[in-house]
Copies of this chain bind each other. A is one copy, B any other.
């Protein structure tokens, strides 16, 4: 009985240590505040990391999409670079097949190309968004990605 108790205690200690380690390692930046429902579907978090100024002409933020959530369709006048730091998601340019994006991927969103990005259906996705050349403008928000459009993206991801 003594050995069983020790074994169970050790398993719990390992689980707690693993959980603490996991919390410490995944959170590079704070999740921030909820992104506005007018531009996003589902629960999305945004934390600004670098605000705009006339020296760098560059803003940077981190965006966390909970499973199933996504941005509206939108365009960046000067383009945007996404660095996927966690999870799995989708991105799609208007009229083109979706691309599954995963931790470690880098995406260049070309200037003025209509597109959206978000989490996969099953997993959250976090990316750093870099907006260079902000003197040309940041973003033009368009209509939401409908449930049917998102479902089509999900189905494509499974092919």
Contact = CB atoms under 8 A, between A and B. Distances in A.
Q: Chain A interface residue count: which class?
A: 35 or more
Contact of A14 (B18, B28, B83, B111): B18
Contact of A104 (B28, B106, B108, B133): B28
B50 A79 contact: no
A78 B104 CA distance: 26
Interface stretch (A33-41, A54-62, A115-123, A143-151): A54-62
Interface of A: 3-4, 6-7, 10-11, 14, 17-18, 21-22, 25-30, 49-50, 55-58, 60, 78-79, 81, 83, 85-86, 103-104, 106, 108, 110-111, 128, 130, 132-133
